Structure 1
């Protein structure tokens, strides 16, 4: 715990976009999402921490392929620049060999031919489709982002233009959302509060269910689990985001489940073996529940290791936290919580009533 806490103080955590701030771009394409290809296409832009997740929904159509691209906040910027978002969208569209569609809202429909000529002066092989009061210019795949920007500038300079909207034929971007440093700071505080309240609620429940010594031992064991989990993420500099907070809360629930089972057997044996030393009762109780604890943890780890190996990059951090948490939660229930209970001592016999109970007013004459 000292090493883990020291690593946290010295190195800190490698916060993800949730806690650093950044931008989420939702993409929708007619082609299946290839996460590796998306990441390789964006790598030359040097955007820092980029997370790409394929989104699944049973209501999606067969040709509806959705992904979420999350980019960390750029240094010195409150939010990601519009030019950077344009570059990301164009890069992903170019990877899919999309044509660019420029929807030009024009003031005078008769100016359409002049605007097309201005566009063709920059990119000769552009074509057009016309509407009632607007113009759609089709830029074939292969044009560079610089050419596209020059083309839009040329159309604007030609006049009679209210606005220009850029879209692509093989990919669309339904939403672009940014998380600023203020919001990310609030998320950190909320995450800390969530873990702290969960631990306090467990303390209160165990106190009611058993005795205060059991509650303190269980909560200190949970604190041990949380500190070691945070410490391993700090030491290895694994990305720490909201998914890891969910893993921490799951670890707390899993660990307290094992601890309560051990403590329940301890309480039964304290009533059964009134003359035995507390250390012997604890040892007996742990041995009686050991096979159950180890088998539960082993079968859970089988599923988690499978997810870690086969689940892909999206959930790997979460699953790693769960694997680590199950291992340390198992041994903390056996070796930490029980040892703390031995140090604190415990009431030996709940069957004995308070000798003064019911005699408070026994001296008063009726």
Structure 2
């Protein structure tokens, strides 16, 4: 029985040859992303900024410019209109309306009532399917909760890798995850895509995917460190990356196929999520090699887990499989 192979069974790619160059690229990406966040900021969605989301539908398609003209005359603050798909199969034309009112605790109900009245007058057969409002206080709490979720995930992963392997691996893994998260958020700042709680979930998904790929490489590297005690660390790492290359490509490819299907065939509501995870899968695969792996190569690691190795600075004795 023949199996599908995207790469040969045995490869000898020198991944670590251009480590310095790719580390510089990663550093530029992180610094550039931080610069974009400081200058351009994020296009925060209703979850973080406060406001109202209204899902409306009409039997016949109406140009988005008409919706915007109608809502622009209502005087309810910033208005955004996005076309979304009707998954019910009823053939309705559906839109998602964003009202960026400043203080939702006081202004939500009047803004929604004024919007309903204007839409009913302009489109007599319009249906208001859903209304969601988020106040300024709640949005501030969501910002803190989202940041705390990402931070705690980093800390938890660092502790796990430290216990599972060694502290050098833990530092490499966390630096890789920080790189992935910052660069992904930086792309949203660059393109000014809407950033909401769904994107926070996407970032956490990317963190999970990236650490899974990193752990697979680290586990194979540890096996080779025990097997080839005199082989230079750089060669051990190259060997581990080549031995896991087929798995990495197959996993990334199948994941990307599913994500592209979600991006192209689902509605605009999940486009941001799919885009963030697609970008994160690519950066996560890259950072597992040139951020996590390069960090371990720079810090050094011991060969024999049964006794401490002072030259590697590793005295923790709990990293046994």
Normalized against structure 1, the TM-score is what? Answer: 0.67
CA gap of 1:214–1:172, structure 2 versus 1, over 3 A, is: closer
Once the 2 structures are TM-superposed, how far is the Cα of residue 25 of structure 1 from its aligned partner?
3.7
CA gap of 1:76–1:278, structure 2 versus 1, over 3 A, is: same
Per the alignment, residue 39 of structure 2 pairs with 10
> Is the Cα–Cα contact under 8 Å of residues 221 and 240 in structure 2 kept in the other structure?
yes
CA gap of 1:296–1:351, structure 2 versus 1, over 3 A, is: same
Q: Distance in 1 between matches of 2:223 and 2:122?
A: 66
What is the 5 A alignment of 1:191-230? 191-230=146-185
What is the 5 A alignment of 1:252-331? 252-331=207-286
Correspondence for 2:50 among 12, 18, 21? 21
> Is the Cα–Cα contact under 8 Å of residues 220 and 337 in structure 1 kept in the other structure?
yes
CA gap of 1:258–1:91, structure 2 versus 1, over 3 A, is: same
Determine helix, strand or coil for the equivalent of 1:350: coil
Determine helix, strand or coil for the equivalent of 1:49: strand
What is the 5 A alignment of 1:100-249? 171=127, 176-249=131-204
> Is the Cα–Cα contact under 8 Å of residues 38 and 92 in structure 1 kept in the other structure?
no
Per the alignment, residue 93 of structure 1 pairs with 120
What is the 5 A alignment of 1:49-68? 49-50=80-81
Q: Which one has the bigger strand percentage?
A: 1
Once the 2 structures are TM-superposed, how far is the Cα of residue 39 of structure 1 from its aligned partner?
4.7
Per the alignment, residue 18 of structure 2 pairs with none
Q: Distance in 1 between matches of 2:43 and 2:102?
A: 15
Determine helix, strand or coil for the equivalent of 2:269: coil
> Is the Cα–Cα contact under 8 Å of residues 233 and 297 in structure 2 kept in the other structure?
yes
> Is the Cα–Cα contact under 8 Å of residues 45 and 194 in structure 2 kept in the other structure?
yes
Q: Distance in 1 between matches of 2:79 and 2:128?
A: 23
Once the 2 structures are TM-superposed, how far is the Cα of residue 344 of structure 1 from its aligned partner?
1.1
Per the alignment, residue 112 of structure 1 pairs with none
Any idea what the Cα deviations from partners look like across 1:139-158, whole Å, max 9, x if unmatched? xxxxxxxxxxxxxxxxxxxx
Q: Distance in 2 between matches of 1:51 and 1:196?
A: 32
| Larger CA deviation: 218-227 vs 310-319 | 310-319
| Larger CA deviation: 284-293 vs 74-83 | 74-83
Q: Distance in 2 between matches of 1:285 and 1:241?
A: 38
Once the 2 structures are TM-superposed, how far is the Cα of residue 172 of structure 1 from its aligned partner?
5.3
Any idea what the Cα deviations from partners look like across 1:23-72, whole Å, max 9, x if unmatched? 13466x7x76x7x7485553112342345667869xxxx98x89784524
Per the alignment, residue 79 of structure 2 pairs with 48
With CA pairs under 8 Å and 6+ residues apart, which has the higher RCO, 1 or 2?
A: 2
Once the 2 structures are TM-superposed, how far is the Cα of residue 239 of structure 1 from its aligned partner?
0.6
Q: Distance in 2 between matches of 1:340 and 1:284?
A: 17
Determine helix, strand or coil for the equivalent of 1:93: helix
CA gap of 1:38–1:207, structure 2 versus 1, over 3 A, is: farther
Any idea what the Cα deviations from partners look like across 1:260-299, whole Å, max 9, x if unmatched? 0000000000000001111111111111111211121112
| Larger CA deviation: 208-217 vs 89-98 | 89-98
Determine helix, strand or coil for the equivalent of 2:236: helix
Q: Distance in 2 between matches of 1:182 and 1:69?
A: 23
Per the alignment, residue 5 of structure 2 pairs with none
Correspondence for 2:100 among 73, 79, 97? 73
Once the 2 structures are TM-superposed, how far is the Cα of residue 349 of structure 1 from its aligned partner?
1.0
Alpha-carbon RMSD across the aligned residues, in angstroms, is 2.9
Unaligned runs of 5+ in 1: 99-169, 355-366
Per the alignment, residue 120 of structure 1 pairs with none
Q: Distance in 1 between matches of 2:103 and 2:159?
A: 45
Normalized against structure 2, the TM-score is what? Answer: 0.76
> Is the Cα–Cα contact under 8 Å of residues 42 and 91 in structure 1 kept in the other structure?
no
